[in-house]
């Protein structure tokens, strides 16, 4: 059984490349039993979503250029 350190590293890699069936299986089995790694999995996806939202925010903020008040 792989450790949380190894599983989270795989989860991270899975966001940037396609993992093998074995690797995906290892993640799936692990997160079924480990809530911390399950949380990490959800949160790493959330961070990606937030990053995309952030660049949009940045764009809007810069476009608006608030008048000094």
12 forms part of the interface with another protein (CB under 8 A): yes
Rule CB under 8 A: say whether 24 interacts with another protein: no
Residue by residue, DSSP assigns 20-56 as PHHHHHHHHHHHHH-HHHHHHHHHHHHHHHHHHHHHH
Looking at beta carbons only, is 26 or 40 nearer to another protein? Answer: 40
Cα angle for residues 24, 28, 19 (degrees, 5° grid): 15
Return the residue of 4, 25, 29, 32 that touches another protein, per CB under 8 A: 4
Site residues (vs another protein, CB under 8 A): 2-6, 8-9, 12-13, 15-17, 35-37, 39-40, 42-44, 46-55, 57-59, 62-63
């Amino acid at each position: 059984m792989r450790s949380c350190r190894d599983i989270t590293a795989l989860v991270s890699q899975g966001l940037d490349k396609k993992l093998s069936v074995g690797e995906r299986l290892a993640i799936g089995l692990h997160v079924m039993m480990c809530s911390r790694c399950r949380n990490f999995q959800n949160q790493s996806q959330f961070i990606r979503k937030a990053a995309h939202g952030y660049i949009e925010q940045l764009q809007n903020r810069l476009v608006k250029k608030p008048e000094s008040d």
